[in-house]
A and B are shown apart, each in its own frame.
Chain A
Amino acid sequence: MASDRDSSPGTPAWVKVFALVVLVLVLLFVGLHLAGGGLGPGDHAPPIERGLRQR
């Protein structure tokens, strides 16, 4: 593992790439959902509470 002893506080290139990818993915996700990818009425309850196991 590389030591950080001589690292400057500058942002490494991989962090910039990572941040850009995350930003693009978040915008894509929000855009897709705002553009009609709505999930419709759902239920956040676990399946056992929704009675799926009672069938």
Chain B
Amino acid sequence: MSPGVRQFALTAHVVLSVGWLGAVGVFLALAVAGLTSADPEVVRAAYLATDVITWYVIVPLAFAALVSGVVQSLGTTWGLVRHYWVLAKLLITVLATILLLVHTQPIAIVASAAAEGPLTHAERPLQVQLLGDAAAALVALLVATTLSVYKPRGVTRYGWRKQQEERSGAKAEA
């Protein structure tokens, strides 16, 4: 990648990833409001909103962050599996995206119930589950963001081998 394209790709990846984190923060706030509000209309509105932001904000941002991260790592010297911190971020992003898609089910169930009328005790376990899922997702994305900033030391066996090859290549040219 040329320096200009690299900067653009990095900016896009940061915006998409932090946007995902922010959207999950909004989801968490709605899940808290849905679980704690005494006003049935506020509860219904909160869960209808969680469904909408899941499909139109969180899911698209999750995939966009994943794709832009893969492009960013493959297009730079960091590589996708050369450094442990990149590998860890990839694992977090893939797992978070899979779990997000799995948990669209309880989100849809609670939203459908909210669309029908005031929620009952039957939905309570799912409401608690949504709160837990959102909190777990927020922690996972905060860990991923921290890894991006601190870039902790450590290369994989593959990365180390590549480094050795590049060094021998550079010595041979000299």
Contacts and interface: CB of A to CB of B under 8 A. Distances in A.
Interface of A: 1-2, 4-5, 7-9, 11-12, 14-15, 18, 22, 25-26, 29, 37, 39-40, 42-48, 50, 52, 55
Interface in B87-135: 88, 91, 95, 99, 101-106, 108-109, 111-112, 115, 129
Interface of B: 48, 51-52, 55-56, 83-84, 88, 91, 95, 99, 101-106, 108-109, 111-112, 115, 129, 136, 151-157, 159-161, 163
Given A43-B112, A46-B55, A50-B112, A14 B152 contact: yes
Contacts, number: 79
B151 A43 contact: no
- Looking at chain A's contact residues, the main secondary structure is loop
B23 to A, nearest CB: 15
Contact of B48 (A1, A2, A37, A52): A52
A14 B106 CA distance: 34
A44 B105 contact: yes
A12 to B, nearest CB: 4
A21 B57 CA distance: 28
Contact of A4 (B51, B56, B115, B163): B163
Contacts of A7: 153-155, 160
A55 B112 CA distance: 11
Given A46-B55, A52-B48, A15 B106 contact: no
